[in-house]
Amino acid sequence: MRIGIEAFKLFRKHKHGMDIVALELIQQLQRLDSYNEYFIFCFDDIDDSVLNETSNFKIIRIPKITTPIAEQLILPFLVQKYKLNILHSTNNTAPLISGCRQIVTLHDIIYLENSSKLKGGTLYQQIGNFYRRMVVPITIRKAERVITVSNSEQQKILNKIPQIAGRVDVIHNSYGKHFTQKPIDSTLGTCIRYKLPFHGFIFLHGNTDPKKNFNNILKSLYLLKQQGKLKYKVVISDIPEWRILAKIKKYKLFGLEEDLIFTNYINNFDLPDIYNRAKVFLYPSIRESFGVPILEAMACGTPVITSNCSAMPEIAGKAAILVNPHNPQEIAEAIDNILSNESLQNELSKLGLLQIKKFNWKKSAELLLNVYQTSLQASFSPSSIQY
């Protein structure tokens, strides 16, 4: 087979969840499959050492242009140029016309849902969601197979688009091996680089997406501060300080800014040291299709607080404290419960190390390879599904 994999943002410096998922799976496929020919389509960017060519894996660099243009105009040309049997689009959207069998990884369908609590975000995010709403229903209809990342998300997809039942495969995400290893930076280098406390903190990944629930997270931290129970600084990654300060002003959480530390983007290979130093990892999102950071924190032995909805209970199992993400009081109580109870910290740490054994990138890549093989053999002919 000649397989093309769209991974446009693989070489960008500041990688996020879907970029890392694509990278991990491609690296595993390189170890597993020496027979099929692969063509990896990436924007030409600065962090191109993360993936190397092998005898049957060729990297095709594309000039950095707007993703929809690259996807709808450049990819179909490349499909023909390299005579592909299959094109796997890894980031929700795909070419409307490709010229070969298509597989689409549909990480989530949040942009197709009507919840007011999930709307908003930056202008860039809103434009991206508009593009997905236009393209995804069509590409799903044309796709040979659709891959999603959790049983929870599979059910949401089928509830929204029942016509594609029987063509949606679940391939779980996992976590990088470097999260299970003792950080090389055993000194205070990471703390110095990111200006962190040396002796513990509350850690959470920042994001401007409304699903990350920052309004309620900040309210829960303010409740703890008012009660005199916010005994550790709160480290927030990858979100502009001014956005949080604006929320503090909007909700009149005055004084909370004194307890917050902003790191900007944190390199993925610095994260294990930060997780290891954190007292608790806070991840009470309103909506997630998987939640890779849950497993990353657990792999480092860090107690996790996450939500009792969407895919998070599926991923966390019994190894985390599950809360109602819409209830700041409940989030605050969970934080205080962990920080004030050393035996609970130890129990969650042990349970987390057991939970992560259920997820494995090699197993996920084996399932993906099976999807490729069965897709080429399938006799499916796209139907005229109406939306």
Q: Is the pLDDT of residue 378 over 80?
A: no
Contact predicate 380/144, CB 8 Å: yes
Domain assignment present for 385: no
3-class SS shares of the chain: helix, strand, coil, % to 5: 45, 15, 40
Rounded to whole angstroms, how far apart are CA atoms 192 and 230? 23
Q: What is the pLDDT of residues 344-360, one digit of tens each?
A: 999 999 999 999 999 99
83 with 40, same domain: the answer is yes
323 in the same domain as 192: yes
Going by pLDDT thresholds of 50, 70 and 90, the confidence category of residue 176 is very high
For the cut 80, the answer to whether the pLDDT of residue 13 exceeds it is: yes
Residue 58 covered by a domain: yes
CB atoms within 10 A of CB 134: 13
Structural domain harbouring 228:
177-358
pLDDT digits (tens, 9 = 90+) for 262-290: 999 999 989 999 999 999 999 999 999 99
pLDDT for residue 103 is more than 50: yes
Q: What is the pLDDT of residue 116?
A: 63
Per-residue confidence (pLDDT) for residue 207, from 0 to 100: 81
* Amino acid 186: pLDDT: 56
| pLDDT, greater one: 127 or 120 | 127
CATH number for the domain harbouring residue 124: 3.40.50.2000
Report the DSSP pairing between strands 202-205 and 280-283: parallel
19-36 burial, b for 16+ CB within 10 Å, e for fewer?
A: bbbbbbbbbbbbeebeeb
Residue 387 lies in a domain: no
Mark whether 76 and 205 lie in a shared domain. Answer: no
- The verdict on 313 and 238 lying in the same domain is yes
Same domain, 117 and 251: no
Confidence label for 255 from pLDDT (cuts 50, 70 and 90): very high
The pLDDT of residue 187 = 59
Q: Are residues 297 and 210 in the same domain?
A: yes
Q: How do residues 44-69 score in pLDDT, each as one tens digit?
A: 999 999 999 999 999 999 999 999 99
Name the percent of the chain lying above pLDDT 70: 96
pLDDT at 380: 44
Predicted confidence (pLDDT) at residue 185 exceeds the cutoff of 60: no
| 190 plus 159 within the same structural domain | no
Mean pLDDT of the chain: 92
Number of domains the chain contains: 2
